[in-house]
A and B are shown apart, each in its own frame.
Chain A
């Protein structure tokens, strides 16, 4: 079964606007971690934000925020004030259990920011 689901088609976003990328997950483990990564055309994976399952507040990192809805098992990424450099693939990932466990990745969302 798919652990991480990202179903949105490629998205075009106007520069300076906000964009929300959807991610739902599936786990029965009470302890887990959710990650978002950016992959530009160079291929390198860039860490954006992390949310632990026991964290009470939604994670924020600069222009990135994670809308964590535990009951719905969703962890949407919000990018505010989009920039041209935000054009990339974005992957949602999950770690089940405690440290040193594998990351399961979603299929990714393609975002293109247009001026």
Chain B
């Protein structure tokens, strides 16, 4: 079945550095990639929606210059957290969609800790 491979699964970085998270869709083409963030014991909150070949659409309150999203191909989308700070520590999940009604494929998540 459809798989989204998300890497890294966990990362620890120093405050002020940048971190890149990759999501690759295997065996299907993710025309849309959704990026979510989940703080401990909370729900998944949508950060941005990216469609292949176009600029991402960011949710209100999400800084587009801080969370850079690239969706250059139908099989690869990346999220770069620039100048990370401890408050960016969270669980980041990508969800790939090929446009079908129930076809949402989740990445396994990236646990980011900024120290």
> B residues within 8 A CB of A102?
34, 46, 49
Q: Evaluate whether A45 and B46 lie within 8 angstroms (CB atoms) in the complex, with A33-B102, A100-B32, A100-B99 already known.
A: no
**A45–B101 touching, CB < 8 Å:** no
**A105–B109 touching, CB < 8 Å:** no
Q: Scoring A residues 35 to 58 as 1 if CB is less than 8 Å from chain B, else 0, what string do you get?
A: 101000001110100101000000
Give the size category of A's interface with B: 20 to 34
**A99–B49 touching, CB < 8 Å:** no
> A residues within 8 A CB of B99?
99-100
Q: A104–B46 Cα gap in the complex (Å)? A: 8
**A105–B43 touching, CB < 8 Å:** yes
**B106–A99 touching, CB < 8 Å:** no
**A50–B102 touching, CB < 8 Å:** yes
Interchain nearest-CB distance for A36 vs B (Å): 12
**A52–B91 touching, CB < 8 Å:** no
> A residues within 8 A CB of B98?
99
**B103–A99 touching, CB < 8 Å:** yes
Interchain nearest-CB distance for A109 vs B (Å): 11
Q: Scoring B residues 34 to 61 as 1 if CB is less than 8 Å from chain A, else 0, what string do you get?
A: 1000000011111001010000000000
**A47–B101 touching, CB < 8 Å:** no
Q: Evaluate whether A103 and B43 lie within 8 angstroms (CB atoms) in the complex, with A43-B109, A45-B93, A45-B109 already known.
A: no
Q: A104–B45 Cα gap in the complex (Å)? A: 8
Query: By CB atoms of chain A within 10 A, which of B32, B99, B106 has the most?
Result: B106
Question: Could you tell me which A residues sit within 8 Å of B by CB distance?
Answer: 33, 35, 37, 43-45, 47, 50, 52, 91, 95, 98-100, 102-108
Question: Could you tell me which B residues sit within 8 Å of A by CB distance?
Answer: 31-32, 34, 42-46, 49, 51, 91, 93, 95, 97-104, 106, 108-109, 111
